[in-house]
C-alpha cells in the first residue's frame, strides 16, 4: 500500500511522524501513514497554488479559490 505524500508531482515520505490506520471492525493496525512536516505542508500548499491556474482550465464547472496555508 502506497503511503507516501504527493507534493509537487513527487512522492515523498512524510517527515512529521506517522498516523496509524486501524480496521474499525478488529481495531488492528493495517497501515502507518506518514504525516507531513510543517515545511512539507507549506511546500504542498505552494505547489497546489502554482498548479491551480492550469488545473482550473481543465475543470468544466469552474474553480474555487486557490488554497492558502494557515500555517504560520
Confidence tier at 12 by pLDDT (50, 70, 90): very high
Task: Give 20's contacts (C-beta < 8 A, 6+ positions apart).
Answer: 29, 31, 32, 33
The pLDDT value given to residue 63: 64
Q: What's the pTM value of the predicted model, to 2 decimals?
A: 0.69
Of 34, 6, 8, the C-alpha closest to 20 is: 34
Cα–Cα distance, 40 to 24 (Å, whole number)? 29
Confidence of residue 2 (pLDDT cuts 50, 70, 90): confident
| Strand ranges inside 1-72, DSSP E | 5-7, 10-12, 18-22, 29-34
Inform me whether the pLDDT recorded for 69 exceeds 60.
Answer: yes
Tell me the pLDDT tens digit for each residue of 14-68.
999 999 999 999 999 999 999 999 999 999 999 999 998 888 787 666 666 666 6
Amino acid at each position: 500500500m502506497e503511503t507516501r505524500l504527493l507534493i509537487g508531482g513527487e512522492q515523498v515520505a512524510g517527515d512529521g511522524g506517522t498516523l496509524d490506520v486501524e480496521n474499525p471492525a478488529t481495531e488492528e493496525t493495517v497501515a502507518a501513514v506518514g504525516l507531513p512536516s510543517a515545511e512539507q505542508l507549506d511546500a504542498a500548499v505552494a505547489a497546489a497554488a502554482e498548479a491551480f491556474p492550469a488545473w482550473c482550465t481543465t475543470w468544466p464547472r469552474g474553480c474555487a479559490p486557490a488554497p492558502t496555508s494557515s500555517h504560520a
